Structure 1
């Protein structure tokens, strides 16, 4: 029977895959290139299709401690603030058997990390997978081990004197994100494509906002070439604004790009402009994706499979990137169980 699975990447996709596989009885080792798993990213939304999985994994209590559960999603017109439609979210559990929630990406990662470790998953940081080889019996990956240096405020890693080792397993999962180098080794299909869209992201404490700007709902503001989403995470407000990127200059300073954002929203209603102005620390996020997969060979070959953004990076407008990574993990575990049982029968 198959025993060990190696995973490249300790983000949401890698941790979810590790947890799902460990729940089948597999031995799982996650190889993460960063010297430690730190808080990165901003907020994400999870629909009932995903929270149903997390509940089945026994994570509902852990999620309730860190997630927000908005009552409504309101679609608004950018220019006037007019409410175009309202989607009730509070009754998702009744309608679909699981809730709709918003959460900081780092909080979801921490919930998955804790659950994975409790399930026996070994997470090894400072380990960059550089090469993968497979045959009919096993997978061998070459791992570059960094030298961790603890600084005053952060943990750093150096590979000035590279040390490599080899790890062996029965299968290998590529979960190293949209810029996956391992995908190139497997498929050789080039880099992800620039979509022509740019996202600005910010987090601001609710208490720092005027009362009329505070909200526990999800608001989606829509207009020509502008799409703004706001929702609560950690008791804060998360704002995302997207605009056309065709003429965006990657060398621009923060001051210049902030001016671009303000220019893009010049025709917006005063409520939205005040909300954007209240968010001081905007981070830029150029959006990349890939054409949809055409066949199963693009998802897995032999003993190697891709999950999450390494497999199918997407734009954020449907709020399903993290959700599809978690759904990938479930299907991967299902296939692993089937494959393992077939292997036993063949023996």
Structure 2
């Protein structure tokens, strides 16, 4: 029996969260209209990790083959000391994790995840993508009590208006529309004093020993910094990220919203001056780097922070978090899966659907936000806390690295 697409959802933002929301709406029998400020989708960002809680959503959407075509599936997570080659802990991934949690652990380029979601949305035939169109404001349309009007602005024309039953705000950490749910007193995202440097290195360009050694997810822990490396794009590229507290003097002046600033290799070399030779050699193989400032928000404290009337928040617009659990994209996918579930209910009032969405999601995302902050303190520990962390990893590494509370949903 064919689905009757008789209801229309407006979506602000065409990133991973926005496209996941559009696909969720389509699968629940809703049309989606997506408004994205960028004039075109491009290959932006670098790597990301998806735990079983996220890849399970993609499986449920019939996207397993699409994921297999673009992702790398690491066989382990290995944690080392940044000052040497000492292994602190290791956990198998691969088939073992897939069997335990019903879905694999994947690493992929952000653009590849965006691309497979975009292809799925386009294949549904029930979404309209408005590129080069910025969503500005939402208010009751006045036409009927059941409609909401979204004011938009195109780069090349005057503002326009679009109508739908409700609005999903998925326009990222610097969302313009977030306050329509959280209220005028909601502040800006919180600067954390932490920065990230990222690069992509063709694995064929690495010396053979490094190419083989870093085939899984590798983490190095140091004082006030840590480094993560893992293959993406079926293993063709190595994604390398250095996360540190504070900024070298030569790099001062980074704009808070600039997530793609060019960074000199000397900045990374300075950060890793006391790291082991292998890690310095790996970072030295990168010809260029990008830098951005990490922001988050306090953990979501109640359902009222996620939905109000006909507007709901999703992804980073709702609950930006530090990357220490690798869950930013995963939480957006989980949000979308829950959105699909409530919209598919036999409920006429979309306000009730969105209220249920918020009720079912706020504790989960708030917990992940809080745990990510806690993880940052553990990863960047110094002194006795660092010694205790290393000892615990060496004794209980596999148990500590297995995030069953997170991956089992």
Q: What TM-score, normalized by structure 1, do the two folds share? A: 0.90
Residue 123 of structure 1 and its aligned partner are, at CA, apart by 1.2
Among 99, 108, 123, the alignment partner of 2:113 is: 108
Contact conserved, 1:196 with 1:244, CA < 8 A, in 2? yes
Distance 1:51 1:132, change over 3 A: same
Among 205, 210, 220, the alignment partner of 1:208 is: 205
Higher relative contact order (CA 8 A, sep 6+): 1
CA distance in structure 2 between the aligned counterparts of 1:52 and 1:255, rounded to whole angstroms: 35
- Spell out the pairing of 1:67-78 with structure 2 (5 A cutoff): 67-78=71-82
Q: What TM-score, normalized by structure 2, do the two folds share? A: 0.77
Contact conserved, 2:265 with 2:288, CA < 8 A, in 1? no
Q: Deviations over 1:23-82 (max 9, x none)?
A: 011011111111111111000000100101101101010111110011111001100121
Among 250, 253, 260, the alignment partner of 1:251 is: 253
Residue number in structure 2 paired with 1:146: 155
Residue number in structure 1 paired with 2:385: none
CA distance in structure 2 between the aligned counterparts of 1:102 and 1:58, rounded to whole angstroms: 18
Asked if 1:126 corresponds to 2:123, the answer is no
Residue number in structure 2 paired with 1:226: 225
Q: Count residues with an aligned counterpart.
A: 330
For structure 1, which segment, 301-310 or 180-189, has the greater mean C-alpha deviation from structure 2 after superposition? Answer: 180-189
Asked if 1:284 corresponds to 2:281, the answer is no
Contact conserved, 2:83 with 2:276, CA < 8 A, in 1? yes
Asked if 1:29 corresponds to 2:29, the answer is no
Residue 250 of structure 1 and its aligned partner are, at CA, apart by 3.5
Going by fraction, where is strand more abundant, 1 or 2?
Answer: 1
CA distance in structure 1 between the aligned counterparts of 2:281 and 2:48, rounded to whole angstroms: 23
Report the secondary structure of 1:285's partner residue: strand
Q: RMSD in angstroms over aligned alpha carbons?
A: 2.1
Going by fraction, where is helix more abundant, 1 or 2?
Answer: 2
Contact conserved, 2:262 with 2:291, CA < 8 A, in 1? no
Among 13, 16, 20, the alignment partner of 1:12 is: 16
Contact conserved, 2:264 with 2:288, CA < 8 A, in 1? no
Residue segments in structure 2 that go unaligned for 5+ positions in a row: 255-260, 353-409
